[in-house]
Amino acid sequence: MIRFDQGNHRFNYRVAGVAIHNDSVLLHRFDHEPFWTLPGGRAELGETAEQTITREMLEELGTDVDVDRLLWVVENFFEYEGVKYHELALYFLIHFRPGSAPLHSDAFDGVEGNVPLRFRWFAVRRDALVALPLYPPFLPEGLTALPSSPVHVVQRDAVSQRPHAV
């Protein structure tokens, strides 16, 4: 995984997938966390971003996805559990293949290593997404108006309780 620590600072390279189905977006959270994020994870050295999201979905959900296109390049600055993060994240529009298990349930479980994950489809409506604890904070607006070409986002968050950097 591509992650570097330097003192109290951590650089993290993450790739996330935006799966939209029946006007809902797939989000996930660790079983012990109160907030939601888009599914994904850290890239491995020598792995392309598309390979990363494909691998992560296979590991977490046991299913293949197709990668459609890059939506956002996000520089995300936040603090979580006392560590200051500088995260570079690529967000891709993805879709599950017909018949994939995630398309047939509103909520289901997955796993990251030995840590349980909760997956759930949420309506792609700004009011519904704003009501969630959803990180990074640009997502409620961004998910309701997907860009037609890649957009660079710089997200600086003063909130100290942040999503687990997967």
The predicted structure's pLDDT at residue 161: 47
Q: Which two tokens stand for residue 72?
A: 């956002």
Using CA atoms, how far apart are residues 166 and 163, in angstroms rounded to an integer?
Answer: 8
DSSP string, the chain: --EEEETTEEEEEEEEEEEEETTEEEEEEETT-S-BB-SEEEPPTT--HHHHHHHHHHHHHS--EEEEEEEEEEEEEEEETTEEEEEEEEEEEEEEPTT-GGGG-SEEEEEETTEEEEEEEEE--HHHHHTS-BSSTTHHHHHHS--SS-EEEEEE---S------
Per-residue pLDDT 10s for the chain (166 aa) are: 999 999 999 999 999 999 999 999 999 999 888 899 999 999 999 999 999 999 999 999 999 999 999 999 999 999 988 999 999 999 999 999 999 999 999 999 988 888 899 999 999 999 999 999 999 999 999 999 999 999 999 999 865 444 444 4
The predicted structure's pLDDT at residue 150: 98
